[in-house]
A and B are shown apart, each in its own frame.
Chain A
Amino acid sequence: MDPLHELSAYQDGLEKWLGSSPPSLVAAAVPNPSFAARVETTSALMKALFDEGWGRYGWPEALGGLGGTILHRAAMWDSLARHGVRGMSLFEHVEVLLPTLCAKAKREFVSAALPAFLSGREVWAQGFSEPEAGSDLASLRTRARAVAGGYVIRGRKIWTSWAAYATWCLVLARTGAPESRHRGLTAFIVDLREPGVAVNAIEQANGTDELAEVAFDDVFVPEHRVVGEPDGGWAVAMHILSSERGTFAWFRHCFLYQQLLAHLERSEPAGDGAVGEALLDLAAVTATSYHGLESHAADTPLGPRAAFTKLLLCEAERAVHDRILAGDADLAVGLQDDETAALRQEYLFSRIVTVYGGSQQMQLETIAKQLLRLP
């Protein structure tokens, strides 16, 4: 057995490599408000992690990984955060989409796609929301029509993160009757380089352009790029959302601890109570998302309980950035050097985290209906 399958050996080895200050790590630790620049530095870091092997643990050997469990990935991002990396950038989708692709997409496809994604060569987008289908995802209208050898997709997706940088998009489309709701959906892997795909980046209020609108004008998708069963797209979507709302919080919150600590040099004793409260919020995410990691490793997905983690992550993210703003009004009115501009972007983003990946109100409804069984 690979000795690095033992988590502590993996952590020690990774620490040693990070301690040698590889150039890709140093570059990814510099605050940079340019989204394109962040994409570049994070991609270079992912490539280095892949080439050195660290980025391949936690993924099945049969699919191009080096084995181990999700705890390897959890340890990797915790280490990267502690060594100054400022975020996962577009590789957030590694943790949102790849677990589902490994579980439900065709093996031949994933064994090529996984190394390409992990090494930063090919990026993935997630095509769920539509102009008329946000919280009510089951009402989506993008259609997939069966043709010889596959399907043809027609429709429009919006709020598609990183589509402008992506090669592949996991698209949820309707294969059933218009009124079939969640029963008539299928998940497809669409090649965004195909003719008929048009990607338009959406400039956001914080100056980044990670979101996009994607139009599909009769785009062909071969049969082997159906994920899960035809008309079984809802199960695929729920599998993804279990990662996006449950385990993903672990990865994101590792960076929030470091953001809170970095801000403390501008914190006054009078703010100690509020800093302590933010630590409580972070600890709540650590505990619930670790439970999510264990459940994932045991192949017992969290299901609706992922909503707890999602809500708590948003609370922690807001609390940390409340502290940052309290100690540093430069992000609101000061001269915008790279660090201040990056802080401003992150602060503004922390005000919208209660919207993406299922709004706060939808998470509360999930809990009310599925866990509390309210009328």
Chain B
Amino acid sequence: MMTSDAEEAFLESARAAFRHDPGIGALGALGVWDLLDEFADREARAATFAMFRAHGRELGRSAALACFMAHLYVAGDGFASGSVAVAMPRRSARRGDVLLLVGEPSMKHVLVDRPGLGAGFVSIDDVELQPVTVPGRLILHELTFAPEDLTVEIPEARAKTARQRSAFLGRIAAAFEILGAAEGALDLALEHASTREQFGQPIGKFQAVRHLLAWARTDCAAVLEASRQAAALDTAAPSRFDEVVKALAGRNGRRVCERALQVLGGIGFTAEQDHHHFHSRVLALDAVLGTSAELARGLGAWLREGRTDPGFPRALLHRGGRA
């Protein structure tokens, strides 16, 4: 595994890159597109996922996740890096199936995958983008297009493999980005706890406050280690480990934001304070690629119906034994 020092170093440079350019250009500056060509290499994966953590931490505007997921369909097809992004399907409780574009619409084409039929592309100029106006440094669009504008160019047989790979790695990437955003919220709360004084002392001296922050840090540690293990295992990951990692990130990420908000108090609930930017990001990423609630229910049913032993400990030992 990439040493945590090397990972930390890459995380820091990725953060600096996004502070300089919060858009998709930062991925080129970081050499991320080249890393994707070496994805069999564990360190390349670790660096790529550290980039997603940095994107969350710095509230990046880019469609990095959607472009990364599209890359897994079109690698080698001659598309310029970052020029295609997946439209993420989700089910609206009110309007049924909708397509969501997460991040700045800087791409040329949108990839739409129709399980059972295959995947195709629509020019960004041929889609209607309806902004989702949630507050926060977060760019979301719902997307519609005329059906005749989509022609299937990736046949189902190939799309099926890409779909699984894209969902697997997309969930891990989303977990890292959720982690970064949750860490951003926690950092705000830590800073506040050290400086805000009440009863003549910093509120971080009160155990009630300290323990909220310690729980938040523990929830982050769980997401970090689980996501790292998933990234290291990659194709050797046990069944549904990506779903576990994504659900854990969504659940814990929300809890971290909630605890941070409690520590920040009223100021944390203002538009002026950054907490809500991080919180909105966590909520948005928890809502795509399977919400934590949906994934947890699915995982529970999987265990109950199949009496399946998930075999997570054994899978990690198997990898460790070979390393």
Query: Interface of A with B (CB < 8 Å)?
Result: 6-8, 11, 71, 74-75, 78, 82, 250, 253-254, 257-258, 260-261, 264-265, 267, 269, 271-277, 279-280, 282-284, 286-288, 290-291, 293-294, 305, 307-308, 311-312, 361, 363-365, 367-368, 371-372, 374-375
Contact = CB atoms under 8 A, between A and B. Distances in A.
Contacts of B86: none
B300 A286 contact: no
B247 interface: yes
Contacts of A372: 190, 210, 213-214, 217
Contact of B303 (A264, A290, A311): A264
Contacts of A312: 218, 222
B316 interface: yes
The B interface, classified by DSSP as helix, strand, loop or mixed, is: helix
A368 B228 CA distance: 24
Interface stretch (B17-25, B166-174, B265-273, B304-312): B304-312
Contact of B314 (A78, A261, A275, A294): A78
Contact of B247 (A7, A271, A276, A294): A276
Given A273-B296, A288-B221, A375-B202, 19 more contacts: A7-B317, A7-B322, A82-B314, A250-B313, A254-B313, A257-B313, A260-B303, A272-B298, A275-B303, A276-B247, A276-B303, A277-B296, A308-B221, A364-B210, A364-B214, A367-B218, A368-B211, A374-B213, A375-B205
A261 B313 contact: no
A361 B321 contact: no
Contact of A280 (B213, B218, B244, B313): B244
Contact of B304 (A254, A269, A282, A307): A269
A279 B218 contact: no
Contacts of B301: 269, 272, 276
B309 A257 contact: yes
A11 B318 CA distance: 9
A374 B225 contact: no
A283 B204 contact: no
Given A267-B304, A279-B300, A287 B226 contact: yes
A282 B207 CA distance: 27
B83 to A, nearest CB: 35
B300 A311 contact: no
Contacts of B245: 283
B296 A280 contact: yes
B312 A283 contact: yes
B213 A368 contact: yes
10 contacts: A7-B318, A264-B304, A272-B296, A274-B300, A288-B225, A290-B229, A305-B221, A312-B218, A371-B217, A374-B213
